Structure 1
């Protein structure tokens, strides 16, 4: 069942240890949303394990005390590498991921991501630009960047 987002109820904050169970739940359920990925994930169940080391780099979207999405961006060279961007399937297409990207962009440095094929359109819609491909365990994947020092289209 889709929820309705009222921006006044949405809070973006740093993740804390008490969020880990909800992060794991959102991560797992969102990862299994796309049928095309299920066989690959079944072959690599370790991909569904939340990495506790990402906690200090994670921002959560919370509505009424519940984590409905999160993004993890770790400093890498002169940019932030977007490692995770997941929305609870019940909250997808409500602006959660876009709001999390805006929050990360406030750091004022370039954001880079290795995009999954299902997310390319989303990333382009929030201002990311493709700049080639990289090899991943799941095959070639586009590398994209958001240059936050320039105005988004």
Structure 2
């Protein structure tokens, strides 16, 4: 766009390319300022307040223009709201029941952990006896 006239690097006339660059850049900047970067005008408080009041009047007029809902749509809306409320109540009851079950499971797990911790740890001799029993059972299975 603005740099289409710039020759490839290694141009013998360095100053000509520099002049083209400056000229193109000035043209591009002028285009930017005129079309893209339009200056922002700070509105005063009175301007902003007047604009807000006009928008408020416009919104109120639009609200007044809206037609009244017919009886059928009102009944439909109320029925949908009641269904949603019933679903919410059912979901709340289900979640409450799940929370109670989870609490019961946690209590059961805690009591099981306490029971396991209270069990005596088998001594080395008891473990050896259990191991020997398993070995003997394995040997009898192999023979049969």
Same fold (TM over 0.5): no
**Structure number having the greater helix percentage:** 2
Shorter-chain TM-score range? under 0.3
Structure with the larger RCO, 1 or 2 (CA within 8 Å, 6+ apart): 1
**Structure number having the greater strand percentage:** 1
